[in-house]
Amino acid sequence: MLRSAFIVPLVALVCTVANAQETTPEFTSLVPESGLEGWHGRPHLDPRKYADVDAEKLAQWKQETEAHWSNKDGVLINDGHGPYLTTDKEYTDYELKLEYRTVAKADSGIYLRGTPQVQIWDTTDESKFKLGANLGSGALWNNSAGAPGKDPLVKADKPFGEWNSVRVIQVGQRTTVYLNDQLVVDNALMENYWDRSQPLFRSGPIQLQTHGGEILWRDVAIREIGADEANQILASHGGEGFESVFDGKSLTGWKGAVDNYEVVDGMIRCKPKHGGTLFTDKTYGDFKARVMFRLPPGGNNGLAIRYPGEGNPAYSGMTELQVLDNTAEKYAKLDARQYHGSAYGMAAAARGFLREVGQWNFQEVTVKGSTIVVELNGNKILDTDVSKVTEFMADSPHPGRELSKGHFGFAGHNDPVEFKEISILPL
């Protein structure tokens, strides 16, 4: 919804990298036959500040990288010092594979999108047991204490002197890690170490950390994941108990503005130049909802949350979660609380995580009490408690935000926005 502020079957992912020069067709080796082409040196640095680094500092890092890193027959070797080896290219959703071998007393890590990190420990170093070294490597060590992924699910390290294999699948913030073919992180949200109030950066480089001891890396290869596969991966996790609320053929089980929507090729689509709220027969209190949506250029719709069945869902309901083409020029000067994923007029969602217009997006919404969490394409873009909101767009009251139960639906605004694979899990 939008108005003036002044008017009230997962695809199998198992592929094998044989060696640094020989990969499956899907994977691209990141290790050149010799030298460090495709890489540069960068220390522990907020990626947002990299563009401001001056030429003198860049030249210094380059010199230090060449002094401490080498490539011997396709094996990247670091002596434990110098900047971190960093890919020139940035990646969004991907599957990364590599092998590493390190020495006693050393620790290291793999930065994903320029952010720490998949942890590598000496699991026998008792001085680091207080940091979690005894639990094993492979976890997202910089996640908050107690957060999923902070500690590995199992200890899977091999003894020193042996090569360890790592496989990372990252879609949005959702990160899965296998160490030596054992699952150590299961679809956990990787936190943005640089600003925990924001989602992980949408894209960024891979970095191989150095930390005081020799470490060798080989068979480093990456496979970029496209939008359709990324959606399949997201849908394959945590779907137990969800019930479909759309049969793919008709609007059975829905009411409200049924004449303004149509079912086309297994999708619910708002008819062009039509609108109104289409909502489920059933009502829900606390719930999770999953939906895939596709925006046309300039598309505008919304998810009606705890809608009472009448009135404007942004105000009469708990909220309307905006569904909007943020990139459209006509929306360039909106209130921040009007962009995609926002609790309309109350709480602004993080921007920059929609797929390109015309591609399908995967979104999950969790409603518990007065709290709402919106996860878009694997990125947590909104986490708010509407009961604590005190400033409203245009000073318009939102009486429905206190509702404890209501319908789920779509709030159309004249654009042919499409929805499919709509399911709900009552909590």
- Domains of the chain in start order, with CATH, are 28-225 (2.60.120.560), 242-426 (2.60.120.560)
**Once rounded to an integer, what is the mean pLDDT over residues 110-125?**
95
Give the model's pLDDT for residue 339. 98
Using CA atoms, how far residue 421 sits from 239, 294, 363, in Å, is 12, 12, 10
The C-alpha atoms of residue 130 and residue 386 are separated, in whole angstroms, by 39
DSSP state at residue 91: B
The C-alpha atoms of residue 169 and residue 187 are separated, in whole angstroms, by 9
SS3 call for 144: coil
- The pLDDT tens digits for 4-52 are 333 333 344 433 333 334 444 499 999 999 999 999 999 999 999 999 9
Q: What angle do CA 221, 216, 33 make, to 5 degrees?
A: 50
Q: What is the dihedral of CA 158, 159, 162, 168, to 10 degrees?
A: 30
**Once rounded to an integer, what is the mean pLDDT over residues 150-174?**
96
Side-chain-side CA neighbours of 7 within 13 Å: the count stands at 5
Give the model's pLDDT for residue 9. 38
User: Which tokens go with 198?
Assistant: 């924001």
Residue of 68, 187, 170 whose CA lies nearest to 110: 170
Q: Does the N-terminal peptide bond of residue 117 adopt cis geometry, omega within 30 degrees of 0?
A: yes
Residue 319 bridge partners (DSSP): 305
pTM of the entire structure?
A: 0.92
Residue 405 CB neighbours (<10 A): 12
Q: Which segments of 69-133 are extended strands (E)?
A: 69-72, 75-78, 84-87, 94-102, 108-112, 115-120
Q: Are 45 and 194 in contact (CB under 8 A)?
A: no
Please state the separation of Cα 360 from the chain's center in Å.
Answer: 15
User: Which tokens go with 346?
Assistant: 């109350």
**Once rounded to an integer, what is the mean pLDDT over residues 60-71?**
98
Least confident range from 10-24, 109-123, 130-144: namely 10-24
Q: Are 256 and 410 in contact (CB under 8 A)?
A: no
Give the model's pLDDT for residue 103. 87
Contacts of 359 (CB under 8 A, 6+ apart): 227, 294
Give the model's pLDDT for residue 1. 47
Q: Are 260 and 271 in contact (CB under 8 A)?
A: yes
- Run of H or E including 304: strand 300-307
- The pLDDT tens digits for 199-244 are 999 999 999 999 888 999 999 999 999 999 999 999 999 999 999 9
Give the model's pLDDT for residue 160. 82
Using CA atoms, how far residue 169 sits from 95, 202, 389, in Å, is 4, 14, 36
- The pLDDT tens digits for 241-287 are 999 999 999 999 999 999 999 999 999 999 999 999 999 999 999 99
Q: Is the dihedral of CA 39, 40, 41, 42 positive or negative?
A: negative
Give the model's pLDDT for residue 107. 87
What are the backbone angles phi and psi of residue 99, rounded to the nearest 5°? -125, 145
The C-alpha atoms of residue 296 and residue 415 are separated, in whole angstroms, by 8
Residue 156 bridge partners (DSSP): none
User: Which tokens go with 309?
Assistant: 């069945």
Q: Are 323 and 303 in contact (CB under 8 A)?
A: yes
SS3 call for 367: strand
